[in-house]
Amino acid sequence: MKWKKGKYKDTHTIRIDQRVERFPNAMSTLHLHFAPTPSPSFAPITSSRFFRTSRISLRNAVCCKAIEAVQLENGRPSARDFAARGNAIPSYVEAPNARIRDLVNRHDTRLRIFSGTANPALSQEIACYLGLELGKIKIKRFADGEIYVQLQESVRGCDVFLVQPTCPPANENLMELLIMIDACRRASAKNITAVIPYFGYARADRKTQGRESIAAKLVANLITEAGANRVLACDLHSGQSMGYFDIPVDHVYGQPVILDYLASKTICSDDLVVVSPDVGGVARARAFAKKLSDAPLAIVDKRRHGHNVAEVMNLIGDVRGKVAVMVDDMIDTAGTIAKGAALLHQEGAREVYACTTHAVFSPPAIERLSSGLFQEVIITNTIPVAEQNYFPQLTVLSVANLLGETVWRVHDDCSGGIEPYSSLGID
């Protein structure tokens, strides 16, 4: 492989057909329209920092040879409990990014990653991607339910990243995150970044009726006052939630992970239609469709009569004889997406796929999703899925490489706005 010296520190630029060697397992950072196999037609890279690529339009088919990061068996988790599996670490995190690993090992001793109890498997994958060990931390609950946190290694002057989604039980995990932040602040950490793969209370972002609270703003204030210097979140329910924080927020999207997986299924683009399960998700579905070979868009119109209760009314768009891909940021009770899928079948859709970043899966979500309405339910591991909640149509994709790369860029003061990593959403 031929290397060209870059202008930024020790990074290098390489030929586009060798980019998989630069990020051998970082499937989550690749765009859908990048050809995965070497091609002599690609020109050498000329970018001074990260390589640039030519976009390849897939007009007749959506296909790419997905690498190992997305070759997960249906119904299987992306990472098991590492303690239970011994040293059987998933192969897609065995070989972390060589550049990051070397820089961390040779030049950096100030990067620390600690995990809460909400999603330790994802935290371990992120640490493996960076070539680090998780920081030693003691977290326990007293008999009365109070939470105790003690860092068991020094973080004085360090750049600390705390990985803790505020998923169910939301209040427990949120309080644990706040106490972890406080412990790091009192231990003289230089910078504290709260890595929140799933931000609970994000749906309470505005007043829809009189005398309602805006809990998303309250939670943002709590995280800020606890001592966090920065927040890294994945697929917030609405963009305005970033404005609730008085500290910098890095917002990344899980779309590249799902797009790359769909690309591996070699579905003819003429048969695809992207469906938004409600009017509020049209912008998200439109962006998804644009990256999916500019697929057509359909919208499910629904009327909600109460919280977690939805009634589908009609469909805007044509899905007859097509493969419908429903896109949403989360699945809670699955009422909206299940009724939408039933409507799509009534309108003549050949197959229905459900794609979401956050799998909250409140009852009776599993019964609705496994009822046969969906060809496949594709989620990510921002929220851990209990073993008993796996069903044959479920596919779990890992966002560890996406978050790991973002953590490194935040730590190294890099930007995510350079192709092909603009989807990281870091400025």
Higher pLDDT residue, 161 or 32? Answer: 161
Please give the C-alpha separations between residue 367 and each of 78, 283, 361, 370, in angstroms, as whole numbers. Answer: 22, 29, 10, 5
pLDDT for residue 27 is more than 70: no
Helical H segments across 187-274, by residue range? 215-226, 255-263
Q: Of 301, 304, 349, 308, which Cα lies nearest the Cα of 331?
A: 308
pLDDT (0 to 100) of residue 280? 86
- Which is more confidently placed, 274 or 424? 274
Q: Would you say residue 166 has pLDDT above 50?
A: yes
Closest CA to 255 of 423, 372, 37: 423
* Tokens found for residue 86: 């011994």
Contact 244, 216 (CB under 8 A): yes
| pLDDT tier at 100, thresholds 50, 70, 90 | low
**Cβ–Cβ < 8 Å for 328, 360:** no
More confident residue, 269 or 317: 317
How are beta strands 272-276 and 249-252 bridged, if at all?
unpaired
Pull the structure tokens for residue 219: 């939670």
User: Where are the domain boundaries for CATH 3.40.50.2020 in the chain?
Assistant: 95-253+402-424, 256-398
Residue 37 has pLDDT above 50, yes or no: no
pLDDT value for 103 = 56
Q: What does DSSP say about strands 147-151 and 137-141: parallel, antiparallel, or unpaired?
A: antiparallel
Give pLDDT, residue 267.
85
CATH-assigned architecture of domain 256-398: 3-Layer(aba) Sandwich (3.40)
Domain 95-253+402-424 sits in CATH at: 3.40.50.2020
Tell me: pLDDT of 48 over 60.
no
pLDDT at residue 208 in the model: 87
Mean pLDDT of all residues in 309-314: 68
In angstroms, the Cα distances linking 211 to 99, 206, 214, 329 are: 52, 11, 10, 27
Assign 268 a pLDDT band (cuts: 50, 70, 90). Answer: confident
The strands making up 111-115's β-sheet, listed across from edge to edge, are: 111-115, 159-163, 191-196, 230-234, 249-252
H or E element in which residue 100 lies? helix 98-107
pLDDT at 261 over 80: yes
pLDDT tens for 115-160 read 999 999 999 999 999 999 999 999 999 999 999 999 999 999 999 9
Q: How confident is the model at residue 98 (pLDDT cuts 50, 70, 90)?
A: low
The answer to whether residues 163 and 116 touch, using CB atoms and an 8 Å cutoff, is yes
- Average of per-residue pLDDT across 94-120: 72
Q: Is the pTM of this model over 0.85?
A: no
Contacts of 280 (CB under 8 A, 6+ apart): none
Whether 244 has a pLDDT exceeding 50, the answer reads: yes
Distance of CA 336 to the CA centre of its chain: 21
Residue ranges with strand state E in 332-423 = 351-359, 376-380, 394-397
